[in-house]
Structure 1
């Protein structure tokens, strides 16, 4: 049986290999990880290098489960169970520092139990009325048995019982209880992140890449889609370009739409797209017509 671990960093980055992190990435490797300090110290060129040199694969949120593939000194090769990928049937693979996880058997975190899901860009966890950790949008934590009524919700975390402000979370008995969205709800929710700087491999309210953005917003509404754009484009319900509705995912490919799928965004309506573009830019709403996206348009999929 595979060993299961729970992520105890606010956001744990999934690296392509243990030798990929650079000196400037050290803040993202420790525990607790300094996600804001790491990203705040990266120049646009540093962020472009993450993309160009394939340094990062994906990210994993606080409290998420990963499954061990192999161990190498201070690193674990894992699969992210909640991120479907053609790379592994067990979930998205990559390398994570061993210090940023804890064996699930050592926690009170159990699957398929009532949970709180962060609905704001980020939120704070509290213990003894003191903030202890800033966590991301769509972080999910099981409710503790001693739920605090009123201003706070009590949750089980890798660091024991903690509290989150009630206004920062939605609470559900089961994932199937999350109300199914209309497409407009997807783009409305995504607007929260306008101007958030792009991060290759990003999967959090601290920074997204294009498919991490579409994946995470869908997951907020209880819809799990593949992690990467090229995998997403093969899933869902095909939609003709003339039938696009807000919330549909639109895909773009090299060689005027005939080559490899390299980008995804949300159709926003009125010929516009809401998307995480590239290093040096923030999440934005842009017109499609008469742009490179118009020329490279490939297809659309509906997951809602």
Structure 2
């Protein structure tokens, strides 16, 4: 069984309950496999990154396997403005955020099952040059931190890096420790380029944070909000508190 998100931003929860922790979000147009379907909740696996969790049955639409396979194989298009909208045949509006998927996008039209929508906003269809990674990252500046978030209304550190890379046409896994298994290791900060990722660990040596390297040893990352701080050999130096906040573990290049 397969499904697709037909709402702007839907929580993906650890357990099948509204009281359960939100571990991720499903944006409009994201498709997935339904692993289990209960009376009120479904356990799903996102096609984009394989992330699993529970989604309210009222917050998605079932799609045919043929549509799922076609979405897997077709070129990916993503909404390119912080917030925009689509209109259905009855001229009803649905807001969609930056990074929302545009299923079966062609000639300003997208489709979910038999429902067609018109979308006339900006869109991204990668791959874009590496130099665009920092440009896209700036669009999220001052977005508040939200555990499990990946939209302009709230985002976590790895949701930020994943979404920015996605908008540029490159696939990252969801969590920081997962992303750290990808890419090529760099030996020194001096080797890094804008668009490379820096990873940080906690006192137990577990990677828990990630950010995007910029020019002049700056880093943009989600910590309280999406912000710009200094990066040195020790880690992240917060320009407001004048203190180090994260311990550098590794720097990686993905393209």
TMscore range, shorter length? 0.7 to 0.9
TM-score of the two chains, using structure 1 as the length reference:
0.73
Identify the residue that residue 268 of structure 1 maps to in structure 2: 214
Report the alpha carbon displacement of residue 114 of structure 1 after superposing the two structures with TM: 5.1
Aligned to 2:225: 282
Q: Which residue of 2 aligns with 1:248?
A: 196
Report the counterpart of residue 156 of structure 1 in structure 2: 111
How many residue pairs match? The answer is: 243
SS of 1:215 mapped into structure 2: helix
Cα distance per residue 1:229-252 (max 9 Å; x no partner): 001111111122221111111000
Q: Which runs of 5+ in 1 are unaligned?
A: 23-53, 84-90, 148-152, 173-177
SS at match of 1:270: helix
Larger RCO, structures 1/2 (Cα 8 Å, 6+ apart): 1
Q: Deviations over 1:107-131 (max 9, x none)?
A: 9674133554211112111235845
Partner of 1:215: 162
Match of 2:53 in 1: 94
Give the 5 Å matches for 1:14-53: 14-19=12-17, 21-22=18-19
* SS class of match (2:119): strand
| Partner secondary structure for residue 140 of structure 1 | coil
Q: Is the CA contact 2:14–2:23 (under 8 Å) kept in the aligned structure 1? A: yes
> 1:142: which partner in 2?
103
CA distance in 2, matches of 1:216, 1:104: 24
Measured in 2, the distance between the counterparts of 1:201 and 1:99 equals 20
Contact persistence 2:89–2:116 (CA under 8 A)? no
- Structure 1 contact 8–100 (Cα < 8 Å) conserved: yes
Contact 2:127 2:170 in 1 (8 A): no
Measured in 2, the distance between the counterparts of 1:271 and 1:155 equals: 41
Separation of aligned partners in 1, 2:66 and 2:88: 17
Q: Is the 8 A contact 1:114 1:142 kept in 2?
A: no
Aligned-residue offset at 1:292 = 2.6
5+ residue gaps, structure 2: 238-242
The RMSD of aligned alpha carbons is: 2.3
* 8 Å contact from structure 2 (residues 132, 168) kept in 1: no
Larger strand percent: 2
The 3 A distance-change label for structure 1 pair 120 and 199 is same
SS across alignment from 1:63: coil
**Compared with structure 1, are the counterparts of its residues 158 and 285 closer, same or farther at alpha carbon in structure 2 (3 Å cutoff)?**
farther
1:86-136: per-residue Cα shift (whole Å, max 9, x none)? xxxxx1110100111111129967413355421111211123584511112
